[in-house]
Amino acid sequence: MELIFATNNAHKISEVAATLDSRYHIVTLKECGITEDIPETHPTIEGNASQKSHYIYERTHRNCFADDTGLEVMALDGAPGVRSARYAGDRHDFDANNRLLLKNMEGKTDRRARFRTVISLILDGEEHLFEGVVEGRIIDHEVGTGGFGYDPMFVPDGYDRTFAEMTADEKNAISHRGRAVKKLAAYLQSIEK
Between the CA of residue 144 and those of 27, 87, 141, 177, what are the distances in Å? 30, 21, 10, 19
Catalytic annotation on 68?
A: yes
Q: Kindly report the backbone phi and psi dihedral angles of residue 95, in degrees, each rounded to the nearest multiple of 5, phi listed first.
A: -65, -45
Active-site residue, from 37, 68, 124, 169:
68
Q: How far apart, in whole angstroms, are the C-alpha atoms of residue 151 and residue 172?
A: 12
User: What are the helix and strand counts (H, E) for the chain?
Assistant: 6, 7
End-to-end CA distance of the chain: 14
User: Could you list the active site residues?
Assistant: 68
